[in-house]
Amino acid sequence: MPREIPLRRARQGARGEKLWHGTEPGDARPCHSGNRLRFIGFTGHKDPDIHLAMLDEADAHGFRFDAVQLPLNVLDHHFQSFEAKVLPILISKGIAPLGMKALCGGDILASGKVAAAECLRYALSLPASVIITGCDTVEVLDQAIRMGKGFIPLSAHQTTALLARTRELAKGGALEQFKTGTKYDGTVKNPHWLERAEV
């Protein structure tokens, strides 16, 4: 018997092209029900409307994702917001939200206006199942562990103040290059990834 894969995530095209990459959502059902895949989800960071289209397509095929990965950060709240458009739908459907890009790939920290701890605390205060944060050094890993161990959700007042302080930073998505540029688009650099899908 093949080993079980805990979570399989399909990756979107950068601009929503080929949403299913040559496969239909129902094609995953035999693997899902046959115990090869425990959970099935998808990931993307370009545009919340692409996430909504993926969810609509799944609904049209009678398919339900188990998990969806999406950017959740203090700048996303203000610009092309996954938090506003996608997160409530995932919660209402009982789909696990997997937050990412809490530090905007580090770009937000370069502004000097927001600290890493504030960014992590904001993301962790949202109703996500998990916040995935990159740890490229031992220091960054230690920071994430400290934040997790001592986590206290932001109060409504703290959230309002942080969002007011970051409103200008969010304009035009300049610090969310994963939405507005190609810096983080693996499919732009590797278009062959979109040519076929395998389970």
Residue 27: predicted pLDDT: 54
Residue 18: predicted pLDDT: 47
- Which H, E and C letters describe 166-190, residue by residue? HHHHHHHHCCCHHHHCCCCCHHHHC
Q: For residue 195, count other CB atoms closer than 10 A to its CB.
A: 9
Among positive and negative, which fits the CA dihedral 73, 152, 158, 142? negative
- Report residue 144: phi and psi, to 5°: -65, -40
What's the pLDDT tens digit per position in 15-55? 554 454 444 555 555 455 556 678 889 998 889 999 999 99
Domains of the chain: 5-185 (3.20.20.100)
**Environment class of 12 (CB within 10 Å of its CB; exposed 0-12, middle 13-18, buried 19+):** buried
Are the CB atoms for 179 and 71 separated by under 8 Å?
yes
Are the CB atoms for 96 and 40 separated by under 8 Å?
no
Residue 110: predicted pLDDT: 87
Nearest CA to 175 out of 87, 71, 85 is that of 71
Average pLDDT over residues 112-122: 93
Q: For residue 47, count other CB atoms closer than 10 A to its CB.
A: 18
Separation of alpha carbons 24 and 101, rounded Å: 28
pTM over 0.85: no
Q: Which residues pair with 71 in a beta bridge?
A: 100
What's the pLDDT tens digit per position in 47-106? 999 999 999 999 999 999 999 999 999 999 999 999 999 999 999 999 999 999 998 888
Residue 90: predicted pLDDT: 98
What's the pLDDT tens digit per position in 149-160? 999 999 999 999
* Angle ∠(67,186,147) on CA atoms, nearest 5: 55
Separation of alpha carbons 104 and 159, rounded Å: 18
How does the average pLDDT of the chain come out, rounded?
A: 83
101-110, 117-126, 184-193, range with the lowest pLDDT: 184-193
